[in-house]
């Protein structure tokens, strides 16, 4: 998995970075989903613990 997208320079002699790699898109979506799931779970557990007390 690449972090950047590359193209050949106009002089044909090297790779140049042309932007961020879109392969990372699912990872950013997953990061949001993980945060939501973990937060919701922690809140649910804390809520249950609070009711028990």
Partner 1 sequence: MTASETRAPVAPVVAASSGRVLRHALFDRIYHWLMAASVLILMGSAFLPIVGLKFEWLSLHWMTGIVLTVLVLIHIVRALIWQDWRAMIPDGADIRDGLRKFRAALGGGGPAPGKPGKYKIAQKLYHLAVAVLVLAIVASGLLMLLKIDTPFWKRNPYWFDSDTWGIIYSVHGFASMAMITLVMIHIYFALRPEEWWLTRSMFGGTVSRDEYVEHCDTSRWRPEDRS
CB of 46 to partner 1, least distance (A): 6
Q: Which residues bind partner 1 (CB under 8 A)?
A: 4, 9-10, 16-20, 22, 24-25, 28-29, 31-33, 35-36, 39-40, 42-43, 46, 49
Q: Give the shortest CB-7-to-partner 1 separation in angstroms.
A: 8
CB of 33 to partner 1, least distance (A): 7
The structure tokens listed for 50 are 């609070």
Query: Which helix (H) or strand (E) is 53 found in, with range?
Result: none
Distance from C-alpha of 29 to C-alpha of 36, rounded to nearest angstrom: 11
> What is the distance between the alpha carbons of residues 21 and 28, in angstroms, rounded to a whole number?
12
């Amino acid at each position: 998995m690449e972090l950047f997208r590359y193209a050949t320079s106009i002089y044909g002699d090297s790779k140049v970075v042309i932007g961020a790699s879109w392969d990372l898109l699912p990872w950013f979506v997953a990061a949001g989903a993980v945060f939501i799931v973990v937060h919701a779970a922690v809140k649910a557990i804390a809520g249950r613990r609070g009711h028990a007390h």
